[in-house]
Amino acid sequence: MTIESALLPVEDLVAAVDSFLAASPAARSWDVETAFDWAAADAGRLSEGQRSAVQFVTLIEDHLPGYFDVYQRSFPVDDTVDLPTFIHNRELHHFTVRWALEEDTHSRALARYQEASGMADRGALRGELAVEGQKSFELPYTHPVQYFAYALVQEKATQMYYHQLRDVVDDPVLGAVLTRLSRDEARHFSFMADVVSRYLRVQGDDAVEPIREVIAGFRMPLADTLRGYWRWALRIADVADYDHTAAYDHLIKVIDRAVDARTDRVDELADFVAQCRTLG
């Protein structure tokens, strides 16, 4: 099965995109330059572990160009696809460009915090981020639902960590940054959950195995390229509970709500995700 042959009906995709954009009016947008009192940022109020957590999430967020490129290549808006596929991908593009803008804003906000708070020199930080940013990022999926299932888990895990880190830091400026990021990630998660739900309703059992494959091989961005990733991830887990498998509970809820007439394969998927959560 090709990605093109397994796409969600465009009417379903349009409904999901329209809902996301309606929940993201211009009045709710924010910008790095004016949203925070950068002069008051003070990394001296953070523990060593908290500073390490900020450095870690900045690297993750700054890999946005590579992450976004995966979606551009997987859902192209050019003459390499037929007209119905282009129409689908063009509608999705309305979401992905907004998503990319918000994620890029997250990257800039975290880097700006490091600079303003005294954590890092801007030029040196730029170089450090570039070392990881140049590394290739791939999601070798064959079914479109997999891209949304992956992002569902990744967005929810990130949102939960930002929320939890905010609750333990003592710098109000960083707390304000993390609040903004957490709210954005919650909206991104809602979109991914909506799309995955629609795939399950429309394709039923055909969407089950692709989602299972995502969870079976799930890695957070940079997990396979950032030197010392797992050691670093364990370290920041001591600062604020960091466990991406906690997001699996939310995937199970999506599965439970998506399908009225449950099949054995859907039940097996929910059980598998729950087992991965327990093992994680």
Model confidence over 220-256: pLDDT tens digits?
Answer: 888 888 888 878 877 877 888 777 778 888 888 888 8
pLDDT at 280 over 50: no
Q: Is residue 273 pLDDT above 70, yes or no?
A: yes
Percentage of residues in the chain having pLDDT higher than 70: 96
Contact in structure between 164 and 241 (CB atoms under 8 Å): yes
Which three-class secondary structure state does DSSP give residue 83?
Answer: helix
Those residues with Cβ within 8 angstroms of residue 12's Cβ, 6 or more apart along the chain or in another chain: 198, 202
Alpha helices in 1-81 (DSSP H): 10-22, 48-62, 64-74
The tokens 């689908």 sit on which residue? Answer: 88
Give SS3 for 76. coil
Per-residue pLDDT for 1 more than 80?
no
Residues 6+ apart with CB under 8 A from 47: 239
All residues at 6 or more sequence positions from 65 whose CB lies less than 8 Å from its CB, including other chains:
133
What is the C-alpha to C-alpha distance for residues 164 and 46, in angstroms, rounded to an integer? 15
Write out the two tokens for 229: 């990733």
Sign, CA dihedral 204-92-272-224, equals: positive
Domains of the chain (ranges; CATH) run 44-279 (1.10.620.20)
Output Rg (C-alpha) for the chain, integer angstroms. 19
